[in-house]
Structure 1
Amino acid sequence: MMNAKDCTLYHGGLKGAESVFGENAEKYGVHEVVFTFAGHRLNRDRNATILSEEELQRGDISMELASRMMNRTYYETEKIRRVLQTIFHMVNKGHQVFVVGTILDDNSVKGGTGWAVELAKLFNRPLHVYDQPRSQWFTWKEGAWKEDSPRICYSTFVGSGTRYLSDDGIAAINQLFVDSFAN
């Protein structure tokens, strides 16, 4: 079992899943880092790191590539680009990735959250998604989603997901921390 005080959670500070991951990190004594950019409104800003233009550029990606990887269309808007750049920094820093959302038929995850999932796949990170409609955790293994009951097993991890968190999604995040850190 991991020692919570030796761990760091990376997230984007938005309402919903990211805020609940952050609240749990605070409760268990996990160090918390929120990646953001100038002018972005956060729901949770504890230990916020405002990425500079240069840092954001390191996470720059082609909107065409993001659209292709996620089987949907993303247009060249500055805010969406900055959000995707910020997600790059979260996944680049956190080894294990936890997301709450909806797994779609094409194995992607609904919404902007899906970019964290695709980057985790690309970077070969341990990846876990709590699928709210199915009320079940899944782990990406051998190119497919497998039912699982994951634990936080690495000292750096990402917590991301939907802004529209259900009570069941909240309970899943809470239980993840209990299972990973409670004595």
Structure 2
Amino acid sequence: MDFSNYTLYTSGLKGSEATFGEEAEKLGIQEVVYSFEGHKLYRDKNVRILDKNQLERGDISMELASRMLNRTYYETDKIRKVLQTIFHMINSGHQVFVVGSIQEDGSVKGGTGWAVELAKMFNRPLHVFDQPTKAWYTWKGQWQEDSPRIEYETFVGSGTRYLSDAGRNAISQLFIDSFKS
């Protein structure tokens, strides 16, 4: 299989994103890490630093983000840049894979939840490995347990910085199941 046509998009943070990047690298899948000036990365291969104008294309009202995620995001420059960076990830990849925790209201915990909400708004195939239940779920107007595969040449890998062994294994197995010869 020719993996040179595949591209993974992340923001290079520790945990889920670093693990997605490591798994992609094993197969020779290109990885693009979106970031911004001054942001500390765990994984810094193929980094694309977004300038002020690029970041602004992904701008969002913090009030809107807070409402959509049922939590409060305060207006800080760093949080805004993180959310803007997530916009570029989701806008670049066709299929979205996230590791985190699905909340009772259907949102996903933390900043990872913004990637999930954007994927829904952009109508991207969306899959979340829920660490508490140790299962993959696909968004089909509601969460449905599933066994997803990487089916598109551009995809996003995002999620929690606090990756459990189950989450790490789920990412590894996703690549095995998607690309076994």
TM-score band w.r.t. shorter chain: over 0.9
Q: Deviations over 1:123-143 (max 9, x none)?
A: 0000000000000000001x1
Alpha-carbon offset, residue 5 of structure 1: 2.4
Structural RMSD (CA):
0.8
The equivalent of 2:47 in structure 1 is 48
The equivalent of 1:152 in structure 2 is 150
Counterparts of 1:62 and 1:78 in 2: how far apart (Å)?
A: 12
Moved more, 4-13 or 169-178: 4-13
The equivalent of 1:177 in structure 2 is 175
Alpha-carbon offset, residue 4 of structure 1: 2.6
The TM-score normalised by the length of structure 2 is 0.99
Counterparts of 2:2 and 2:56 in 1: how far apart (Å)?
A: 34
Letter in structure 1 aligned against 2:129: Y
Q: Deviations over 1:90-145 (max 9, x none)?
A: 0000000000000000100000000000000000000000000000000001x100
Alpha-carbon offset, residue 3 of structure 1: 4.2
Counterparts of 2:89 and 2:25 in 1: how far apart (Å)?
A: 18
The equivalent of 1:69 in structure 2 is 68
The equivalent of 1:162 in structure 2 is 160
The equivalent of 2:123 in structure 1 is 124
What is the total number of aligned residue pairs between the two structures? 181
Aligned positions of 1:73-152 closer than 5 A: 73-141=72-140, 143-152=141-150
Partner of 1:108, secondary structure, is coil
Counterparts of 1:43 and 1:123 in 2: how far apart (Å)?
A: 27
Letter in structure 2 aligned against 1:8: T
Letter in structure 2 aligned against 1:151: R
Runs of 4+ displaced beyond 6 Å: none
Alpha-carbon offset, residue 181 of structure 1: 1.1
**Where in structure 2 are there 5+ consecutive unaligned residues?**
none
Alpha carbons 1:3, 1:181 under 8 Å: kept: no
Identity %: 71
Counterparts of 1:124 and 1:14 in 2: how far apart (Å)?
A: 25
